[in-house]
Amino acid sequence: MSRLPERSARMRDLNGVVLLSQPSISRLVDRMVARGLLERLPDASDRRGTVVHLTDAGYRAFLEVAGEHRRSIERTLGTALPDADLDELRRLTDALRAAVGETGVEQQD
């Protein structure tokens, strides 16, 4: 299979990593397309498939939400653990991310 562009995923792959039913994922994607956050594209490797691609507006929204999420975690955990424990937690979560992959969606060449 061909490698997808960055910020893209096949609809069929989303079913394996999002804790929603396929119809719910489709409705969510439809709403995000309507808001200009995603676009649906044909899958070059599967004429029946669809690729969803994060638009520039969607990427900006992601960065904004991710930043607020990070700040929320820092507010919550920042005082809960000593610096050495936070460093260890960061090391462990980095190892998990590396093992699973940043997106959780395997991209095949």
Tell me the pLDDT tens digit for each residue of 51-84. 999 999 999 999 999 999 999 988 887 788 888 9
Residue range 80-100, pLDDT digits in tens = 888 899 899 889 989 998 888
Q: 2 pLDDT exceeds 80?
A: no
Give CA separation, 98 vs 19, 25, 73, 91, 94, in Å: 21, 26, 20, 11, 6
Distances (CA, A) of 100 to 4, 29, 33, 46, 104: 18, 24, 27, 25, 6
Range with the lowest mean pLDDT among 39-43, 58-62, 90-94, 104-108?
104-108
21-32 mean pLDDT: 93
HSE of 106, CA atoms in CB hemisphere, 13 A = 6
